[in-house]
Structure 1
Amino acid sequence: MQGYGRCFKLFLAFSLLLLQYAQGGEVDHSQRDTNVTGRCIERERQALLAFKRGLVDESDFLSSWGSEAEKQDCCRWVGVYCSNQTGHVLQLDLSPKVIVEVIQGKLISPKLIELHHLQHLALSSIDFNGIQFPYFIGSLTNLRYLDLSLTYFGGKFPSQVGNLTNLEYLDLSANRFTNVENLHWLPLLSSLRYLDLSFTNLSNVFNWPETVNKLPELTNLTLYGCDLPSPILSTLSYINSSKSLASVDLSFNRLNNSSIFVWLSNYNTSLVYLDLSGNLLAGSIPDVFGNMSSLALLDLSHNQLEGGDPHSFARLCSLQYLDLSRNNLSGQLSKFVQILFSTCAQNSLEMLDIRYNQLRGGIPESIGLLSQLQYIDFSMNSLEGVISETHLSKLSKLQSLDLSSNSLVFDIHADWIPPFQLHSIYLGSCKMGPDFPKWLKTQKKFSYLDISDAGISNNLPSWFWSLCRNVIFMNLTSNQIRGTFANLTFEFSHFPELHLSSNKLEGPIPSVLSKVSYLDLSYNKLSGSISFLCSSAAIGLSFLDLSNNNVSGQVPNCLTHLENLVILDLSYNVLSGKIPTTIGSVFRIQTLKLRSNRFVGQLPSSLKNCTNYEDDATFIWKGGMQTYKSTLGLMKRIDLSSNKLTGEIPSEITHLVGLVSLNLSRNQLTGQITPKIGNLQLLDSLDLSRNHIDGRIPTSLARIDRLGVLDLSYNNLSGKVPVGTQLQGFDPSVYVGNLQLCGPPLKKMCVDEVERGPSEQTDFINQEDKDGLITLGFYISMGLGFAAGFWGVCGTLIFSRSWRYTYLKFLNGLNDWLFVRIALLKRQLKDA
C-alpha cells in the first residue's frame, strides 16, 4: 500500500508541475529541427566536447558527440538542443528521461561557461562521486532550469547558485554537500517556482520558513530528509509571500511542535499537496487542516499523533489521499469514518490508509458511502466484527483492499458478485472459511493475494489457478487447504513469490512451479521427486523451502543453472542417495538445510565454492530443539544433521570463512576434526554431536572467541580439552559421551594432572605444542637453582657485616657517579 501511496503522491506532484509550466513557468524547450542546415557555433561545440571528456560513457551512448565531419553539427547531438534562429545551445539534458544508460562523471570542464545562452541544464543521476561542486555554474546567468539531483557532488554547499537570478526550477537533491549554515542566497532567486534540496543537511538553518516566504513565485517545495528543525516562532513574523505555495514535502525531518502548523496556515488557500510524514509530530491532529480548502493529498504517516476524532477533516472537500498510518491513533474506527462520510470528502476521497494504529471496533457499513475509494488499508489495528456485502457493494472503483492482521470475519454469500476488480487483496488473519471464498472467482486482475490464516479447510478449487497467471505475490499459509497441483499446465507471466506452507496439499510438485522466485511449500503432505528443479525456468528461483513433507528420491545432479538460489531447505523429508557435487556450483547459496533425510556418502568438498549462509539457526542440543539468533543479525549456516553421511569432515569446509553456524550432528561421520577449524572465526554455533569422530579437539577451536553454542557430545574424542576461556566456559554436557576426554570443565582429570596434584592443575601449556624437556625434573631443578642463587647472594649480605658495608658503599658511589653525569649532560644541552 505504501508503494501505491508514493506513486499517487508523485502523480499529484507531477500534475502540479505540468500545471505550473503550462502557466509559463518552464523554459522554452526548443524542438529539434531536423531541417536545420547550419552548424552549431564552434566555441560552444568545443565546450561540449570538453565537457564530454570529463564523463565516463562506457555504453558509448554519447557516440553522436564527436569531431568527425559527419558529427560537426552539435545541435544534432543527443541531449543537446539549439535555437532555430541563432544556433546557440539552449539546453543540455543528460537526465534519465533522455539518456537511458548509466554515465559516470570524473569532472566538469570549466569550458561549460562558454555556453552563454544556456537556459536548461539537467545532469540528474550522473555520479560525480563526491567531487567538488563546479562553482563556475554560477556564471551561467541565463539558466532557468537546473537539475543536478543524484549527481553526488561534495564539498561546501554551492551558494553561488544565488547568482542565477533567472532560475525558475532548481533541484540539488541527493548530493553530498557539507552542512549548510544559512540560506541567505535563496531570496535572490525571486522567479523560482520549483525548489528541491532533499537530503541536504539543514539542521542549523532555523529560519528556513522565513527564507521560503521571500520567494513570491514558489509553488513546489521539497525538503525531504534534510534534518530540518522545527521553526522558531519568532522567525514566522515575516510573512510577505504571494500565497502561491501548492506542493510542500517536509517528510522525514525533525519537526516536532505546532510551529510548523503556524507557518503552513499562511498557505491555507493554495496548498494542494502536503507531506509531513516521518517527523516527530505528537498530540492530536490540529484544526489547522480544516482551513486548507484546496488540499488534495495529506500524508501524516510515521508520526506520534494521537486521538481518533479528526474533526478538522470535515471541511476538506477536495481531499483525495489521506495517509495516517503508523501513528498512535486510538478510539473507534466508526467515529473516524463518520467524520469522513458525513462531509463533502465522501465525494472525493480515493485513498484511505490508517494501518499500524490502535483503532478498535468494527468497520461501519457507511464505509460504502465513500464511493470514490480506490485504496483501503486498515491493516494492523485492533478491529473486530463482521464484513458483509453491504460494506463493499458500492465501492465500484476499489482496486486495493487491505484488512489484514485484525480480528474480522467475512460473512459473504457464495453467489455474491463484487462491483470491483481488485489488483491487491490482503486479508491475512481475516476468517472467511471453512469454504474457499467463491467471490474470488470473479477477480480476474489481482496480482497480490494474501488470505493466510483465514480458517479455510476445504479443497483448493480447480478454477483458482486459472486466476493466478499474472500473480506477483500469493500467500495461502496457515490454513488447512487440501488438494493437489494436478493438471497445472499454464505458465506464470512473472517470477512470483508463493507462500503455501502449513496446509494439507498432496501429490507431486508440478514443473509449472519452477518459474517462481520464492517458493515455500513447507509443512504439507507433498510427495514425489524434486525433478522440477531441473527445468530451465528455475533459473529465477532464489528461495525454496520444501521442508516437512514426504518428498523422496535423490537430489538431482542438475543444480548448476540455479544461479540465483540463496536459500534451500529440504529438511525433514525422505530424500536419499548422495548429496550431489553440483551443490557447490550454486555459488550464491546462503542457507543449506538438508537435515533429517536419508542421505549417505561423504560431504562433497565442492561446498568450498559456495558463498556464506543467511538464516536462523535451528538445531538439536541438550535433547531439545533450539533456535539461535546471531547477534550479528546475519546468519550463515549449513545444516546437514540427522542423515547417514559417512567419511571425514572435509577440510575444504573451513574455506567458508563467513560461516556462523555448522550442524553435522546425528550422522555417521568419522575421522578427526580438521585442525583448520579455527579459520571459521565468525562461528557462533558448532554441533558435531552423535557421530563417530575421534582424535583430539583441535586447539584452534579455542581461538574462536565468538563461539556461543557448542555440542561435541557422543563421539570418540580423546585427550585433554584445549585450554581457552571459550571451551572451559561451556557446560560439561557438550562433551558428554566421549569417554577418553579429560580436563576442565569435565570432572575427569588428565593423567599428568593427577601426578602433579590438585595444587598444580592449572595448565597454560598447549597440548599439541608441549615441549618434551619441560618435565617434573625440570621444575625441581629450577626450584633448587633459584634457592642456591638467592641464599648465595642475599644470605652473605645478611650474615656478613663487612660484605654488607662494602655493598652499600658501592651503591652510594654509583649514585654519586650518576648524579654528576646527569648534571654535566644537562649543562652541555643548555650550552648547545
Structure 2
Amino acid sequence: MMSPKLLELQHLKYLDLSSINFNGTRLPYFIDSLSNLRHLDLSFASFGGRFPSQVGNLTHLQYLDLSGNDFNRVENLNSWLPLLSSLTYLDPSSTNLSNVHDWLEIESKLPKLTNLTLWGCGLPSPVIHSSTLFNINSSKSLAHVDLSQSQCTSPSIFLWLSNYNASLVLLDLSNNSLTGLIPSVIENFTSLVHLYLYQNKFDAVNLHSFSSLCSLQELSLGNTSLSGQFSKFVQMLSMCVQNSLEYLYLSDNHLSGSIPNLTNFSSLKALSLSRNQLSGTIPESIGQLSNLEQMDLAMNALQDVVSESHLSNLSRLTYLDLSSNLLVLSFSSNWVPPFKLRYIDLGWFWGTTSNGQVISLFNKQIGEMFANSTRNFTYYLEIHLSSNQIEGPIPSTLSHVSYLDLSSNNILGSISILCEAYKSLMFLNLSNNNLFGELPHCWTHFDHLVMLDLSYNAFSGKIPSTVGSLYHVEKLKLRSNRVVGEFPSSLKNCTSLKVIDVGNNQLSGCIPKWLGVSLHKLVVLMLSSNNFNGSMPSELCRLTNIQNLDVSANNISGTIPKCLNNFTVLAQKGNSSPTLQHSYRRVDTSYGVDYMDDATFVWKGRMHSIDFLSNRLTGEIPNEITDLVGLVSLNLSRNGLIGELPAKIGKLQALDVLDLSRNQIDGRIPTSLARIGRLSVLDLSDNFIVKIPTSTQLQSFDPSNFAGNPELCEPPLQKMCVDQQETVISSNEEEKDELITWGFYVSMGLGFIVGFWGVCGSLIFVKPWRYSYFRFLNVLNDWLYVRVISIKRQFN
C-alpha cells in the first residue's frame, strides 16, 4: 500500500511506482496533495477501482503513465484531463475508454502533448465533425501516437492525424478494425519514422501511399490485404527510403512474384515476407545485406538451392525461417557460417550450429530427435518439439535447458532423469505422452520452475509433499493421470500459483480450506472428475481472482456457499482474459521467457466459468450468484437443488451457457432469463418447473431443453396451460419487495399490540395518568371552542 508519509515530501517532482503489485487497491486520494509532481509513473502497478481523476489536481504534471492497471470503465475524462495543460506524455493504456466518445476533443486541450499512447483502450468512434478536426487548437508537436489494439474503426482517425503531418514520428494503428482504403492523407506524413498498420481489415492497400515517406525506418504492413507484385512494391520504396529502411514486415498478405534484388536497402535489419504467394528463387544478392539480423521467408512457394553464397555476408543474422518452401540446402562440409543463430526453422532441418539457444520444430513429424547421442544439446536454453513422433525416454543431454516442451509425442518411461539433469528448468511441458510411474520426490531441486504440465499421461501414486518447494510455480497441471490420495498440505506454500488443474484423477478427501486462504492468486481451479467429498468450503470465496472454478463429477454435498459474490473478477463485466501469461528470468544468464497458457480453460474466447455438475449439492440456488455478472458459463446440473430460480437471474448478461438440468427446481421461469441476449445453450430439463413465460426468446429454444418437467406448459412445448391466459410475470412482480413476508406481518402485529396497550393500558390502570389525560382533553376542547367563536365573529 502507499503510505500517507509520502505527503511529507512536498518538494517531490518525480515519482515512479511502476510494476509494484498493489493488489487491485484504489489509488489513494492524497496523491493530489503532491502538488509539485512533474513525472508520475504508475504503469503496471495493479491499481484498481475507480479511475484516479484526482490526478487532475496535479497541474504541473508533464509525464503521466497509468497503463496496465485494472481501473473501472471510465465515463468522463473532460472533468480533469484538460486541467493538465502542461502534459507532454500521456499513457492510460489498457483502461476501458469505450464510453468516452469525446476523447479526440479532450486531447485537443493539451497543447504541449508530444506522446499519446492509448493501446487496448476500446476507443469508440469519435463524435466529432470533420470540419472541427482541421481547426482544433491542439498541439502541433505530437510526435508519438499509439492507438493499437483499441478497436478503432473510424476513418476520421486519419483526418485527425493529418493535423500532425509535420511532427508525427511514430504512428501505431495495429490490431484494430480499420476498413476500406488507406486514405491518401497518409502520403503527407513525411516525418514518419515508424509506421505500424498490421492486423487491420483494409479492403486494399495502395502501394503509392508510402512513396513519399522518405524518413521511414520501420514499416509494418502484415495482414493488411496488401497485394500485387512484390517487385513493384520494392521499386516504389526504392524511390525514397532505400538508404533509411531498417525493418520491413509484410507477412500474411497476398504479395506474389519473385524476390528482387534488395541490395539497395543497405540498412535493412529485418525482412519478413512469410505467408505470402512468392515464387521463384531466392536471389544470391540477399547475402550482401550485411546488416540483416532477421529473415523470415516461410510458407511461400519458393524453389531454389540455398548455398553458401546466399548467406556468405550475413554475419549479424540471429533469426532464420525458411520453412514450408521447396528449398534444398547445399553447403560444403568445411563451410563455417559467419553468423551465430539463436533461432532457425527449416521445416525438416536440424540446426548444426552449436551457438543456437532456441530450437522450434513443432509439428514436423520428427521421430528420432535424440537417437544420435553425438549431437550436442548442451547450450540450448529453449526447446520446442511438441506434436512430433519422438519416441523413447527423456534425454539426459539437455542439462542447461530452461524451457522444454516435448508435449504430444510418444515419450515413455519415468521422469526420474529430471532429478539428475534438469536443475535449470523454468518451463516443463511433458503432457500427452506415455509417461508412467510415481511422481519423483526431488522437486526441491527446481528452484526456478514456473510452469509444470504433466497432464494426459499415466502417472500414479500420491502427489509428493516436495511439490510444496516449488515456491515460484504458477501453473500446475496433472489432469488425466491416475494420481490418488489427498492434496498435500505443503502445496499451500506455493503462493504464486495461478492455475491448478488436477481433473480426471482419483484424488479424495475434502476440498482443502487452505486453497482459498493461502493461494489467493488462483485464476483457474480444476478439480473435476475425482473423489472429493464433504461440503464446499466457504474459504473458497476468498479466491477473488478466480475466473474458472470446476469441481464437477465429485461427491461434494451441502449447499452452494452464498459468498460466491466475493469472486471479484467474476462480479465485473468485460474483465475476462482468454490467456494467462507467466514469465521468469534466469539469474545466471540474461535469458528470460514469457509463456502464454493454451485455451484449455476457455469458453468461446473467455474464461469466466463455474461448473458444479454431478455432485450431491442441495438447497436453493443462492441469489448472490446473480451478482457474478461476468459469468459466461454456469453448470449446476445433476444435483439435488430445490426452490425457484433466482428472480434476478437476468443480471447475468454475459452468459452463453446455463445448464440447471436434473435437479428439483420448481416454480415459474423468471422472465428476466429471457433478457440474456447472448444465451446460446440452455438446459432446464428434468426439474419441476411449471410455466415458461410467453412472448420471450425462450420460445426459440428446442423443446428438449425443457423436457422432463411434468407440469410445464406454454411454447415451445405443445402443452398449453389450463387457464389459457398469458401470465407473464412483470419485472416488478418477480423482483418483489422482500420485506412483505410472513415475518413482516408478525412484526407488524406485535408492534400494534405493544403500541396499543402501552398507551391505552397505562390510562386504564394508572388513575393519575388517566385524570391528567382527560384534563388535557378538556383544556384542548375549550381552547378550540374559543378559537372557532373568535374566527366566526371576525367573518361576521
Normalization by structure 2: what TM-score? 0.61
Report the counterpart of residue 287 of structure 2 in structure 1. 343
What is the CA–CA distance in structure 2 between the aligned matches of 1:358 and 1:551, rounded to whole Å?
Answer: 50
Could you tell me how far 1:520 is from its partner in structure 2? 2.8
Report the counterpart of residue 12 of structure 1 in structure 2. none
What is the CA–CA distance in structure 1 between the aligned matches of 2:55 and 2:658, rounded to whole Å?
Answer: 48
Report the counterpart of residue 475 of structure 1 in structure 2. 429
The answer on whether the counterparts of 2:108 and 2:136 sit within 8 Å (CA) in structure 1 is no
Could you tell me how far 1:282 is from its partner in structure 2? 3.0
The answer on whether the counterparts of 1:591 and 1:615 sit within 8 Å (CA) in structure 2 is no
Structure 1 unmatched ranges of 5 or more: 1-55, 67-76, 80-91, 113-120, 138-145, 162-169, 213-219, 617-626, 754-760, 771-832
Specify whether residues 595 and 762 from structure 1 end up closer, same or farther in structure 2 by C-alpha distance, changes over 3 A only. same
For residues 295-319 of structure 1, what are the alpha-carbon distances to aligned partners after superposition, in whole Å with 9 as ceiling and x for unaligned?
Answer: 6832314662523742333565554
Specify whether residues 204 and 609 from structure 1 end up closer, same or farther in structure 2 by C-alpha distance, changes over 3 A only. closer
Structure 2 unmatched ranges of 5 or more: 16-35, 68-75, 93-102, 149-155, 330-344, 579-599, 735-796
What is the CA–CA distance in structure 1 between the aligned matches of 2:277 and 2:528, rounded to whole Å?
Answer: 44
Could you tell me how far 1:444 is from its partner in structure 2? 1.2
Report the counterpart of residue 557 of structure 1 in structure 2. 513
The answer on whether the counterparts of 1:398 and 1:421 sit within 8 Å (CA) in structure 2 is yes
Specify whether residues 506 and 685 from structure 1 end up closer, same or farther in structure 2 by C-alpha distance, changes over 3 A only. same
SS in 1 for 2:493: helix
SS in 2 for 1:584: helix
Report the counterpart of residue 260 of structure 2 in structure 1. 311
What is the CA–CA distance in structure 1 between the aligned matches of 2:171 and 2:420, rounded to whole Å?
Answer: 46
Report the counterpart of residue 641 of structure 1 in structure 2. 613
For residues 431-485 of structure 1, what are the alpha-carbon distances to aligned partners after superposition, in whole Å with 9 as ceiling and x for unaligned?
Answer: 25113563x7335153x443333443444351378536451x4433333334443
Counterpart amino acid of 1:259?
Answer: H
Could you tell me how far 1:486 is from its partner in structure 2? 0.6
Report the counterpart of residue 821 of structure 1 in structure 2. none
Report the counterpart of residue 360 of structure 2 in structure 1. 402
Counterpart amino acid of 2:247?
Answer: L
Specify whether residues 652 and 157 from structure 1 end up closer, same or farther in structure 2 by C-alpha distance, changes over 3 A only. closer
What is the CA–CA distance in structure 2 between the aligned matches of 1:378 and 1:62, rounded to whole Å?
Answer: 60
Report the counterpart of residue 224 of structure 1 in structure 2. 172
The answer on whether the counterparts of 2:444 and 2:470 sit within 8 Å (CA) in structure 1 is no
Counterpart amino acid of 2:407?
Answer: S
Counterpart amino acid of 1:352?
Answer: M
The answer on whether the counterparts of 2:713 and 2:719 sit within 8 Å (CA) in structure 1 is yes
Report the counterpart of residue 502 of structure 2 in structure 1. 546
Report the counterpart of residue 287 of structure 1 in structure 2. 234
The answer to whether 1:535 aligns with 2:491 is: yes
Pick aligned residue for 2:205 from 247, 253, 256: 256
Report the counterpart of residue 421 of structure 1 in structure 2. 379
Aligned positions of 1:342-741 closer than 5 A = 343-345=287-289, 348-354=291-297, 357-358=299-300, 372-376=316-320, 391=349, 394-405=352-363, 411=369, 413-418=371-376, 421-429=379-387, 431=388, 433-436=390-393, 438=395, 441-442=397-398, 444-446=400-402, 448-460=403-415, 462-463=417-418, 466-467=421-422, 469-471=424-426, 473-490=427-444, 492-493=446-447, 496-510=450-464, 511=467, 512=469, 515-532=472-489, 535-559=491-515, 560-611=517-568, 612=570, 634=606, 636-667=608-639, 669=640, 671-674=642-645, 676=647, 678=649, 680-682=651-653, 683-691=655-663, 693=664, 695-699=666-670, 703-706=674-677, 707-715=679-687, 717=688, 719-723=690-694, 725-741=696-712
Pick aligned residue for 1:323 from 257, 268, 272: 272
SS in 2 for 1:544: strand
Report the counterpart of residue 181 of structure 1 in structure 2. 134
Larger-Rg structure = 1
Counterpart amino acid of 1:664?
Answer: L
Counterpart amino acid of 2:553?
Answer: S
What is the CA–CA distance in structure 1 between the aligned matches of 2:612 and 2:66, rounded to whole Å?
Answer: 47
Could you tell me how far 1:530 is from its partner in structure 2? 2.0
SS in 2 for 1:444: coil
Counterpart amino acid of 2:260?
Answer: H
Specify whether residues 211 and 769 from structure 1 end up closer, same or farther in structure 2 by C-alpha distance, changes over 3 A only. closer
Specify whether residues 491 and 597 from structure 1 end up closer, same or farther in structure 2 by C-alpha distance, changes over 3 A only. same
Report the counterpart of residue 91 of structure 2 in structure 1. 150
Specify whether residues 725 and 390 from structure 1 end up closer, same or farther in structure 2 by C-alpha distance, changes over 3 A only. closer
SS in 2 for 1:299: strand
Normalization by structure 1: what TM-score? 0.59
What is the CA–CA distance in structure 1 between the aligned matches of 2:411 and 2:391, rounded to whole Å?
Answer: 4
Counterpart amino acid of 1:60?
Answer: L
Specify whether residues 419 and 287 from structure 1 end up closer, same or farther in structure 2 by C-alpha distance, changes over 3 A only. farther
SS in 2 for 1:421: coil
Could you tell me how far 1:99 is from its partner in structure 2? 12
The answer on whether the counterparts of 1:678 and 1:704 sit within 8 Å (CA) in structure 2 is no
Counterpart amino acid of 2:318?
Answer: Q
For residues 231-252 of structure 1, what are the alpha-carbon distances to aligned partners after superposition, in whole Å with 9 as ceiling and x for unaligned?
Answer: 579979xxxx9xxx9x921112
What is the CA–CA distance in structure 2 between the aligned matches of 1:394 and 1:687, rounded to whole Å?
Answer: 55
What is the CA–CA distance in structure 2 between the aligned matches of 1:384 and 1:525, rounded to whole Å?
Answer: 46
Specify whether residues 529 and 316 from structure 1 end up closer, same or farther in structure 2 by C-alpha distance, changes over 3 A only. farther
Could you tell me how far 1:274 is from its partner in structure 2? 5.2
Specify whether residues 132 and 740 from structure 1 end up closer, same or farther in structure 2 by C-alpha distance, changes over 3 A only. closer
Counterpart amino acid of 1:579?
Answer: M
SS in 1 for 2:392: coil
The answer on whether the counterparts of 1:702 and 1:723 sit within 8 Å (CA) in structure 2 is no
RMSD: 5.4
For residues 317-368 of structure 1, what are the alpha-carbon distances to aligned partners after superposition, in whole Å with 9 as ceiling and x for unaligned?
Answer: 554333345x534558xx44x647x6223x543333456x556889968698
Could you tell me how far 1:94 is from its partner in structure 2? 4.8
Report the counterpart of residue 586 of structure 2 in structure 1. none
Could you tell me how far 1:375 is from its partner in structure 2? 3.1
What is the CA–CA distance in structure 2 between the aligned matches of 1:420 and 1:183, rounded to whole Å?
Answer: 61
Structure with bigger helix share is 1
Report the counterpart of residue 595 of structure 2 in structure 1. none
Specify whether residues 210 and 382 from structure 1 end up closer, same or farther in structure 2 by C-alpha distance, changes over 3 A only. same
Could you tell me how far 1:421 is from its partner in structure 2? 3.1
The answer on whether the counterparts of 1:453 and 1:479 sit within 8 Å (CA) in structure 2 is yes
Specify whether residues 108 and 747 from structure 1 end up closer, same or farther in structure 2 by C-alpha distance, changes over 3 A only. closer
Specify whether residues 538 and 263 from structure 1 end up closer, same or farther in structure 2 by C-alpha distance, changes over 3 A only. same
What is the CA–CA distance in structure 1 between the aligned matches of 2:41 and 2:694, rounded to whole Å?
Answer: 65
Specify whether residues 748 and 577 from structure 1 end up closer, same or farther in structure 2 by C-alpha distance, changes over 3 A only. same
The answer on whether the counterparts of 1:371 and 1:394 sit within 8 Å (CA) in structure 2 is no
The answer on whether the counterparts of 1:505 and 1:526 sit within 8 Å (CA) in structure 2 is yes
Report the counterpart of residue 810 of structure 1 in structure 2. none
Aligned positions of 1:72-87 closer than 5 A = none
Percentage of identical aligned residues: 26
SS in 2 for 1:734: helix
The answer on whether the counterparts of 1:703 and 1:724 sit within 8 Å (CA) in structure 2 is no
The answer on whether the counterparts of 2:714 and 2:720 sit within 8 Å (CA) in structure 1 is yes
Specify whether residues 497 and 61 from structure 1 end up closer, same or farther in structure 2 by C-alpha distance, changes over 3 A only. farther
Specify whether residues 721 and 232 from structure 1 end up closer, same or farther in structure 2 by C-alpha distance, changes over 3 A only. closer
What is the CA–CA distance in structure 1 between the aligned matches of 2:493 and 2:668, rounded to whole Å?
Answer: 46
Specify whether residues 694 and 453 from structure 1 end up closer, same or farther in structure 2 by C-alpha distance, changes over 3 A only. closer
Specify whether residues 697 and 377 from structure 1 end up closer, same or farther in structure 2 by C-alpha distance, changes over 3 A only. farther
Counterpart amino acid of 1:323?
Answer: S
**Number of residue pairs matched by the alignment:** 608
Specify whether residues 105 and 676 from structure 1 end up closer, same or farther in structure 2 by C-alpha distance, changes over 3 A only. closer
Could you tell me how far 1:544 is from its partner in structure 2? 1.9
What is the CA–CA distance in structure 2 between the aligned matches of 1:420 and 1:672, rounded to whole Å?
Answer: 64
Report the counterpart of residue 172 of structure 1 in structure 2. 115
What is the CA–CA distance in structure 1 between the aligned matches of 2:218 and 2:718, rounded to whole Å?
Answer: 74
Aligned positions of 1:40-51 closer than 5 A = none
